C-alpha cells in the first residue's frame, strides 16, 4: 500500500505552489519599484522630412520652424472642405504610403487600416532596429506595447458608406497597439491610451511601471497623430485655439494659439540594470514619472495650475531628486493665452525656489513642430533626451518678448530665443517633460543622461533600416490618390 495519502499529496502540491510564489516574489523584489528605465532605441517620423534623431536635433538646434501649408496632394479627397479651414501645420508628405507586403498584410486590408496604425507599425520596426532588436524574432523577453492615440477617427470619413469588416479592425484605437503586438509576436500588455494631448506621455508612465513591476522585460511605447480629414480641424477651429498667423509663439507676448502638427515616435525601454547587463546603447534614462488629473477646475477644459504643480512634484519624488536637479523643462507650451501663464505659474511653484541660483531653462518643441497632440509627449521626451545628451538648450522658436502675464520675478527660470550651453555648474543635470490633456489628465517625466560607459551601438550591431516597397494605400472605391511631388519630399 502506498504510504502517501491524498492529504500528503495535497500538502506537497501546496508546498510547491508556496515555494513557487516565494520565488516569483523574490524575482519581482529584484526590480526596484522606483528603479531607472533606459531608453535603448527610438524611431520617429516628423514633418519637414525628419526621420531620425540627428535630423530632429539639427532642426531644434537651428531653431527651425517646420510649419508650412498643407501639401496639395494631402488635401485629397476633401479639397473643397479644406478651402474653408486653416491648413497651416507640420505635415508628413507620404503619410498615406505603406508597404503592406512587408508586414504580411493584404493590400485590401491595408486600404482599410488607419494610416496612423500603419505608421506606428513602420516606426515601431525602426525603433526596435535602432535598439538592435530584430522585430518578430523568437526571444525569451516579454515585450509590451503602449501607444498614445487620440482624437476623432479622421480616417473613418474616407469610408463613406462602403466600410466593411476590415474597417472595423483597422480603425478602432485599441487595434493600434494590438496590431503591433500581433505582427511582431509580443506577449506582454498591449494597450492604447487616449487622454487627449497627454496620451503618449501617459503611455510612457505606464510602460515604465510595467517594467518596474517586472511584468515586462522590454516596452515599446510612443504615440502618433495624423490629420487625415477636415473633421477634427473643423471642431478645433470652433474652439478658437488655433493661431491665426499659423505660428506657435509659446511664452511670447504675441501668443494667440497653437498650430496642428503630424508625427509619430516610438521608444524602446528596458530596466537600466538590464540594459547595462545586455550591453545596450543607452540614449537616456527615465528616472521618474507621474500622472494626475485636474479634477474640479474653473472649466472642464481649463488647466489647473495646482494639479500641474503636483504632478511635477510627484515625478520629483518618484525620481528621488530635488528641484535643484532640474536644469531644463520641456513644457507642454501650446502658445495659448490661457495655457501658457497657468503652466509657468505651476513651474514657478514647483521648481522656482531653487538652491544655488542655477538656471532652469524652459522651452517647447511645439514652437518648431506645432502641436502633435497624442504624439506630443513622447516627441517632447526625445527632445529632452537630446538636450541632455548634447548639454545644449535649443532656442524657443518665434520667442521675442515674454508674455506680460508671465511673472518670473525672483526665479532662475530662463526662456530664450537663442541657444544656451547647459553645464553642471550653471544648471541641474536632469530634464523634466510635461504633457497635459484637455480632459485634465497631466503627465510628467524626469530624464537624465546615459551612463558614462554606455555601448556605442546596440549589441549585435544596428539592424539596417528596411527599404520600403511603399505604395499609396487608400480606399479603392475613391480612385487613385495623388502622390507627393519630388519638390514636396
- How many domains, in total, are found in the chain? 1
More confident residue, 161 or 381: 381
pLDDT at 6 over 50: no
* CA distances in angstroms from 149 to 199, 323, 343, 363, 372, listed in the order given: 7, 31, 23, 24, 11
Assigned domain for 17 exists:
no
> Which has the higher per-residue pLDDT, 1 or 353?
353
Q: Does 32 fall in a domain? A: no
The pLDDT of residue 1 is 44
Return the CATH number at 226: 3.40.47.10
197 is catalytic: yes
- Is residue 237 a part of any domain in this protein? yes
Q: At what angle do helices 174-184 and 115-130 cross, to 10 degrees?
A: 40
Q: Which carries the bigger pLDDT value, residue 19 or residue 170?
A: 170
In a domain, 92, yes or no: yes
The answer to whether position 4 is within a domain reads no
Q: How high is the pLDDT of residue 470?
A: 86
**The predicted structure's pLDDT at residue 311:** 98
Three-state SS sequence of the chain: CCCCCHHHHHHHHHHHHHHHHHHHHHHHHCCCCCCCEEEEEEEEEEHHHECCHHHHHHHHHCCCCCCEECCHHHHCCCHHHHCCCCCEEECCCCCCEECCHHHCCCHHHHHHCCHHHHHHHHHHHHHHHHCCCCCCCCCCCCEEEEEECCCCCCCHHHHCCCCCHHHHHHHCCHHHHHHHHHHHCCCCCEEEECECECHHHHHHHHHHHHHHHCCCCEEEEEEEECCCCHHHHHHHHHCCCECCCCCCCCCECCCCCECEECEEEEEEEEEHHHHHHCCCCCCEEEEEEEEEECCCCCCCCCCCHHHHHHHHHHHHHHHCCCHHHEEEEECCCCCCCCHHHHHHHHHHHHHCCCCCCCEEEEECCHHHHCECHHHHHHHHHHHHHHHHHHCEECCCCCCCCECCCCCCCCCCEECCCCCEECCCCCECCEEEEEEECCCCEEEEEEEECCCCCCCCCCCCCCCCCCCCCCEECCCHHHCCCCCCCHHHC
Tell me, what's the pLDDT at 485?
60
Reply yes or no on whether the pLDDT at 75 is more than 80. yes
pLDDT for the residue numbered 23: 56
362: nearest Cα among 420, 319, 283:
420
Q: Which of 117, 206, 332, 361 is catalytic?
A: 332
Q: Is the pLDDT reported for residue 487 higher than 60?
A: no
Share of the chain above pLDDT 70, in %: 87
**Against a cut of 0.95, is the pTM above it?**
no
What's phi and psi for 97, nearest 5 deg?
A: -90, 150
What average pLDDT does the segment 298-309 reach? 86
Active site residue 371: yes
Taking the CB of residue 420, how many other CB atoms lie within 10 A of it?
17
The mean pLDDT value for 421-448 works out to 94
pLDDT at 94 exceeding the cut of 70: yes
| 224-243 as b/e: b if 16+ CB within 10 A | bbbbbbbbbbeebeeeebbb
pLDDT of residue 24: 55
> Using one digit for the tens of pLDDT, what is the confidence trace for 201-227?
999 999 999 999 999 999 999 999 999
* Assigned domain for 18 exists: no
Taking the C-alpha atoms of residue 422 and residue 425, their distance in angstroms, rounded to an integer, is 8
pLDDT in tens, 216-270: 999 999 999 999 999 999 999 998 999 999 999 999 999 999 999 999 999 999 9
Residue 3 lies in a domain: no
With contact defined as beta carbons under 8 Å apart, do 366 and 435 qualify?
no
272-296: average pLDDT:
96
Q: Is 321 a catalytic residue?
A: no
Catalytic residue among 130, 173, 197, 473: 197
Identify the domain containing residue 270 by its residue range: 37-488
- Give the model's pLDDT for residue 457: 66
- Kindly state the average pLDDT of the residues 31-35: 64
Looking at residue 168, what is its pLDDT?
79
pLDDT band at 443 (very low <50, low <70, confident <90, very high): very high
- State yes or no: pLDDT of 83 exceeds 80: yes
- Cα within 13 Å of Cα(37), Cβ side: 33
Looking up cell 503602449, which residue turns up?
146
pLDDT one-digit tens code per residue, 165-193: 778 788 899 999 999 999 999 999 999 99
* Structure confidence at residue 11 (pLDDT): 67
Mean pLDDT of 2-18: 59
Active-site annotation holder among 206, 371, 398, 444: 371
Does a structural domain hold residue 26? no
pLDDT for 488 equals 37
Amino acid at each position: 500500500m502506498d504510504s502517501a495519502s491524498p492529504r500528503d499529496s495535497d500538502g506537497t502540491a501546496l508546498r510547491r505552489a508556496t515555494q513557487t510564489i516565494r520565488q516569483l516574489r523574490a524575482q519581482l523584489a529584484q526590480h526596484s519599484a522606483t528603479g531607472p528605465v533606459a531608453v535603448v532605441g527610438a524611431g520617429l517620423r516628423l514633418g519637414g522630412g525628419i526621420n531620425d534623431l540627428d535630423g530632429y536635433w539639427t532642426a531644434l538646434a537651428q531653431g527651425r520652424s517646420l510649419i508650412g501649408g498643407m501639401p496639395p496632394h494631402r488635401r485629397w479627397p476633401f479639397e473643397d472642405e479644406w478651402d474653408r479651414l486653416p491648413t497651416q501645420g507640420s505635415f508628413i508628405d507620404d503619410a498615406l504610403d505603406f508597404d503592406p507586403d512587408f508586414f504580411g498584410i493584404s493590400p485590401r486590408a491595408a486600404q482599410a487600416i488607419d494610416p496612423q496604425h500603419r505608421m506606428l507599425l513602420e516606426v515601431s520596426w525602426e525603433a526596435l532596429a535602432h535598439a538592435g532588436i530584430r522585430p518578430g524574432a523568437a526571444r525569451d523577453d516579454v515585450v509590451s506595447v503602449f501607444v498614445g492615440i487620440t482624437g476623432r477617427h479622421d480616417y473613418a470619413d474616407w469610408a463613406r458608406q462602403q466600410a466593411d469588416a476590415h474597417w472595423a479592425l483597422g480603425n478602432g484605437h485599441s487595434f493600434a497597439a494590438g496590431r503591433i503586438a500581433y505582427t511582431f509576436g509580443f506577449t506582454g500588455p498591449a494597450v492604447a491610451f487616449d487622454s487627449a494631448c497627454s496620451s503618449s506621455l501617459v503611455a510612457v508612465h505606464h510602460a515604465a511601471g510595467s517594467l518596474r513591476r517586472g511584468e515586462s522585460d522590454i516596452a515599446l511605447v510612443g504615440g502618433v497623430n495624423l490629420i487625415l480629414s477636415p473633421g477634427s480641424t473643423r471642431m478645433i477651429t470652433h474652439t478658437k485655439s488655433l493661431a491665426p498667423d499659423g505660428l506657435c509663439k509659446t511664452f511670447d507676448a504675441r501668443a494667440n494659439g497653437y498650430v496642428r502638427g503630424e508625427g509619430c515616435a516610438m521608444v524602446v525601454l528596458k530596466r537600466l540594470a538590464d540594459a547595462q547587463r545586455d550591453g545596450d546603447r543607452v540614449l537616456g534614462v527615465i528616472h521618474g514619472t507621474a500622472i494626475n488629473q485636474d479634477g474640479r477646475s474653473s472649466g472642464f477644459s481649463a488647466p489647473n495650475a495646482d494639479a500641474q504643480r503636483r504632478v511635477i512634484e510627484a515625478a520629483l519624488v518618484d525620481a528621488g531628486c530635488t528641484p535643484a536637479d532640474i536644469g531644463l523643462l520641456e513644457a507642454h507650451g501650446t502658445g495659448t493665452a490661457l495655457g501658457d501663464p497657468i503652466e509657468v505659474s505651476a513651474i514657478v511653484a514647483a521648481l522656482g525656489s531653487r538652491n544655488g541660483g542655477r538656471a532652469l531653462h524652459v522651452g517647447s518643441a511645439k514652437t518648431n513642430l506645432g502641436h502633435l497632440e497624442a504624439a506630443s509627449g513622447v516627441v517632447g521626451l526625445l527632445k529632452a533626451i537630446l538636450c541632455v545628451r548634447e548639454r545644449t538648450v535649443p532656442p524657443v522658436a518665434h520667442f521675442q518678448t515674454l508674455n506680460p502675464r508671465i511673472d518670473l520675478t525672483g526665479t532662475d527660470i530662463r526662456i530664450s530665443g537663442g541657444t544656451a550651453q547647459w553645464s553642471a555648474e550653471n544648471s541641474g543635470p536632469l530634464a523634466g517633460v510635461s504633457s497635459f490633456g484637455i480632459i485634465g489628465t497631466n503627465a510628467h517625466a524626469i530624464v537624465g543622461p546615459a551612463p558614462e560607459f554606455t555601448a556605442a551601438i546596440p549589441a549585435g550591431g544596428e539592424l539596417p533600416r528596411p527599404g520600403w516597397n511603399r505604395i499609396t494605400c487608400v480606399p479603392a472605391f475613391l480612385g487613385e490618390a495623388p502622390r507627393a511631388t519630388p519638390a514636396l519630399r
